[in-house]
Amino acid sequence: MLNYKGIQMLSKIKSYGLVGIEGYKVDVEVDINPGLPGYDVVGLADTAIKESKERVKSAIKNCGYNYPINHIIINMAPASEKKVGSNYDLSIAIGILTASEVLLQKNVSKYIFLGELSLDGKVRKINGILPMLISAKQNGYTHFVIPKDNANESAFIDKINVYAVDNLRELVEFLKGDIVVEPVQTRSYADVITDQKTTADFAFVKGQASAKRALEIAAAGGHNILMIGPPGAGKTMLAKCFPTILPDMTFDEALEVTKIHSVAGELDQNQGIVINRPFRSPHHTTTVVALTGGGRNAKPGQISLAHNGVLFLDELPEYDRKTIETLRQPLEDGVITVARLQNTVCYPANFTLIASMNPCPCGYYGSSKVRCKCSPTAIHKYLSKISGPLMDRIDLHIEVDAISYDEIRSDHLEESSAEIKKRVNKARELQLERFKNGKNYSNAKMTEADFRKYCKLDDAGTALIETAFHKLNLSARAYTRILKVARTIADLEGSVDIKPEHIAEAIQYRSLDRKFTV
Amino acid sequence: MEYTVRELNLIWLDCFDFMTYSKKTQMIKAYGIDRDIRKSLPKDMIPALQDFLTQQELNKLNSCADDEFLQDALKKYQYKNVVLVTIYSTQYPALLRETDNPPYILYCKGNVDLLSTRCIAIVGTRRPSDYGRVVTKSYAKALAEAGLTIVSGLANGVDTIAHEEAISAGGKTIAVLAGGFDHIYPASNYALSEKIASDHLLVCENRPEVQPMNYMFPIRNRILAGLSEAVLITEAQENSGSLHTKNYAVDYGRDLYVVPGKITSLESKGCNKILKEMQGAITLDPSDVLEAMHIVKQENTENNNFQLDFNESNILRYTMSDKKSYQAIMDYTGLAPQQLNAILLSLQIRGLIEKLPGNFYLSN
């Protein structure tokens, strides 16, 4: 591609873009034409890309290269996809430098360039590096140039060469072969997982044995849980400890979580990968979009950020009803589809829901310490703020009461999260073995067929559940929930069969199905 | 069901909202009830009725005087499974008929024979304390088991407990409603009302479509007291609605039984106040009531058949007098949550212990 003087004037650079957490290749073509100096970007670029003109120009100049005083046309292919963000700065700059012969096309062809430029030529960090690298790797690309600040994020993907650069000049010299830049050293997930830092631990929660037990079951079986209790009972504290007893994320799970956090710009760049299970607790004034994801660019919402972790909704009835009802589909499917004018994006949203609420508007119904002032109608109304379909997706309801002063003061040693976690891990292993051929990996997400196969009862169990239904006014929807929870309890005990005592315990966790008020 | 002319007259008059109890009484007084009111209305009734009915109301009565109107109403009641027991019917409870203002018609749903059984009303606060709950339960159970029909008002609290306990003890119960059957109040007791309508008896003096209004509840209480041989108040606040029932009971000469409470307890203020005035009303045990009503209680041996193991009887003893939290039971017994949960549930199923809101337990 030579012009009439035999000078190369066209270059083609590879970069990557993102739709949701899936990447796609973007070709950045730069053509320098004779004519009045100008800079045109075509290919559905947004304002951030159009503004790159000034950043690229200054960066090239300040790194000591000549900015061509010609008409520059930049085409971003595929032209039909809308491109957003500043991560194309680096590829445009390299494109211009290649088209103006500072670099040779053959030296830059194999790389994918990602990064934003600052006026002095520094390459700045961008969001979404990890998902882009992963999908580029799947598409067979192996060489990447990324900002140095994103190096940690890229370190967990093996079999690719990632060059992390600090500034444009360093990059140009590297591409020319003048200096050597070592590829980013891969790190193994097993090494970093040990640095998990948690401030919460069940050892610090005094008393509350029944709530702890219920949370252990929830963690073991992936069940959603609702805690009902007066203010100050410690519901929030219990919820915060919950992630500490969940099994460690596998590498694949961690990558998925990191992808979402990277896209949302919430990734800790020092760590580079999310190793703690996410714990998200959006405030009750949160909007539908903030919870499920959306906005102009269909960003992930809180439920996707809680993927593979915990979504904690404190004071559940205080949430806008419309907002919490949107959880119904993701709770069932584990994904959320966010459809916007320009994008339709599918984000994973496989989280454990922990909700807490007061038993009545004043908060003290059934409390031993303070007298409740609410009328039965008010209590009924308060409880019915949570719809049946949503309640249907919550397997365990437990009541938590405030602990006494003596209990706070007691020196009694509570079990630590690590010990509980060991039992949870064992139960999870049983489930992984059980569901190894299916898509599902927890008792809570059992399909109808699995349910029939693995939740069989003996005669004593059937008799028990029948009497319980009649005596305790259980609603019909409780049936499968009880058996799934009983399955998890049996797993925790390492029992193959579901025994009557497992069912009995599971029924204890259905407070709201029983008549709550009299 | 065949109705006499007198009964049809009453049923027809009851179809109009403006025909209040006093207007009906006046009408019957002015006009008599043995003739067919509908047929003779246009000709000779008008002058006598103008004293208490407006022209508009008379026109309304006139325009609905055809057979079709009455037949439609009867069909509607039949369709809704509502049986009408008028004051002229032999099924009408004799005790109620003797009172000052007996309802002309009792709309009934369920087993109408219960109207002729021996009844006792159990009433009280809508928000009982744990003490009130226990007391109500034990009385309702004992009285129902002794063969008495438990009459109450289907309200929240004591009423609901009384109905439920009577049902679970295998006894009989009557719920007297204020509004019509189409408007069960409180709505949370809808399921209970269905159960009572199918195996027991719902009673109301209003047509099914009448909305419950707050003035109807005190008036309704006269039926509660009127139906029953005795009235038992287990727990009542200072200005509780059950005090109306007490007044009716006194007026009608019914036996009154009141359970005393702590003098500091808000929920027992009403009961204690009654007891200050009428010391003889005190009852300390269901057998007081049964003795006064000359009922010999059959010893129920069924309860003793339960096999209780050490932990179970331990828990029952511990939660006997006062409700205890889950945590307290756990600390007391030293059991792990998984074992304790299973034991507590099996006790609940056998009806030996009750789970109270807030994860508390109380043995029955």
* Nearest Cα residue to B360 out of B327, B316, B311, B337: B327
Among A366, A380, A518, select the one facing B161 at the smallest CB separation.
A518
Residues of A in contact with B341 (CB under 8 A): 210, 213, 504-505, 508
Whether residue B234 has pLDDT greater than 70: yes
- Report the greatest alpha carbon distance in chain B: 86
Q: Is B311 on the interface with A (CB under 8 A)?
A: no
Q: Which residue has the tokens 């690309």?
A: A141
**pLDDT value, residue A472:** 78
User: Which residues 6+ apart lie within 8 Å of B91 measured at CB?
Assistant: B85, B112, B113, B115, B116
Residues of B in contact with A407 (CB under 8 A): 327
* Nearest Cα residue to A136 out of A26, A43, A30, A44: A26
User: Which residues 6+ apart lie within 8 Å of B353 measured at CB?
Assistant: B315, B316, B319, B344, B347, B361, B362, B363, B364
Q: Which of residues 244-273 of A touch B (CB under 8 A)?
A: none
Whether residue B147 has pLDDT greater than 90: yes
Residues of A in contact with B337 (CB under 8 A): 209-210, 212-213
**Contact present, A438 and A450 (Cβ < 8 Å):** yes
Binned at pLDDT 50, 70 and 90, residue B240 comes out as confident
How far is Cα A162 from Cα A124, in angstroms, rounded to an integer? 16
| Kind of pairing between the strands at A123-124 and A310-313 | unpaired
**pLDDT value, residue A478:** 82
Average pLDDT, chain B: 89
Question: DSSP states of A169-204 as a string?
Answer: HHHHHHHHTSS--PPPPP--HHHHHTT---S--GGG
- Would you give the distance in Å from CA A344 to the centre of its chain? 18
**Contact present, A76 and A45 (Cβ < 8 Å):** yes
Cross-strand partners of A117: A123
| Kind of pairing between the strands at B255-258 and B324-325 | unpaired
**pLDDT value, residue A174:** 95
Tokens encoding A7: 């000078």
**pLDDT value, residue A296:** 76
SS3 per-residue string spanning A281-316: CCCCCCCHHHHHEECCCCEECHHHHCCCCEEEECCH
Whether residue B300 has pLDDT greater than 80: no
B240, B266, B327, B361: best to mutate for the A interface, most A CBs within 10 A: B327
Q: Which residue of B has its CA nearest to A512?
A: B357
Beta-carbon count within 10 A of A506 CB? 29
**pLDDT value, residue B42:** 62
**pLDDT value, residue B38:** 82
The angle formed by the CA atoms of residues B57, B60 and B64, to the nearest 5 degrees, is 145
Among B160, B338, B358, select the one facing A399 at the smallest CB separation.
B358
Among B188, B346, B349, select the one facing A380 at the smallest CB separation.
B188
Q: How far is A389 from chain B, CA to nearest CA, in Å?
A: 19
**CB B337 to CB A209 under 8 A?**
yes
E strands of A340-381, at which residues?
344-348, 352-357
Tokens encoding A72: 């520059």
DSSP A455: -
Residues of A in contact with B193 (CB under 8 A): none
Exposed/middle/buried for A385, CB within 10 Å: 0-12, 13-18, 19+?
Answer: middle
Q: Which of residues 139-178 of B touch A (CB under 8 A)?
A: 156-157, 160-161
Tell me: cis bond preceding A78? Omega within 30 of 0 counts: yes
Exposed/middle/buried for A494, CB within 10 Å: 0-12, 13-18, 19+?
Answer: exposed
Please report, rounded to a whole number, the percentage of residues in chain B having pLDDT higher than 90: 56
Residues of B in contact with A465 (CB under 8 A): none
Q: What is the mean pLDDT of residues B207-215?
A: 93
**pLDDT value, residue B305:** 55
Binned at pLDDT 50, 70 and 90, residue B299 comes out as low
Tell me: cis bond preceding A282? Omega within 30 of 0 counts: no
Phi-psi region of B253 (alpha: psi -120 to 50; beta: other; left: phi over 0): left
Whether residue B332 has pLDDT greater than 80: yes
Residues of A in contact with B188 (CB under 8 A): 376, 380, 517
**Type of residue numbered B258:** V
Q: Which residue of B has its CA nearest to A402?
A: B358
Query: What's the complex ipTM?
Result: 0.74
Among B186, B327, B339, select the one facing A376 at the smallest CB separation.
B186
Beta-carbon count within 10 A of B348 CB? 21
Element (H, E) at A153: helix A151-154
- Would you give the distance in Å from CA B334 to the centre of its chain? 43
**pLDDT value, residue B353:** 87
**pLDDT value, residue A514:** 66
**pLDDT value, residue A518:** 45
This prediction has a pTM of: 0.81
Q: Which residue has the tokens 């004043």?
A: A362
User: Which residues 6+ apart lie within 8 Å of A57 measured at CB?
Assistant: A39, A67
10-residue stretch averages of pLDDT, chain A, 518 residues long: 58 92 93 90 90 94 92 91 89 94 92 95 93 94 94 91 95 94 90 79 87 94 92 89 89 91 87 89 92 85 93 92 90 87 85 93 84 83 85 88 77 86 92 83 85 88 87 78 93 91 89 62
**CB A210 to CB B359 under 8 A?**
yes
Whether residue B225 has pLDDT greater than 70: yes
Q: Which of residues 68-107 of B touch A (CB under 8 A)?
A: none
Tokens encoding A45: 């670029």
Q: Residues A105-138, buried b or exposed e (16+ Cβ, 10 A)?
A: beebeebbbbbbbeeebbbbbbbbbbbbbbbbbe
* Nearest Cα residue to B175 out of B114, B126, B118: B114
Q: Which of residues 49-88 of A touch B (CB under 8 A)?
A: none
User: Which residues 6+ apart lie within 8 Å of B4 measured at CB?
Assistant: B88
DSSP A124: E
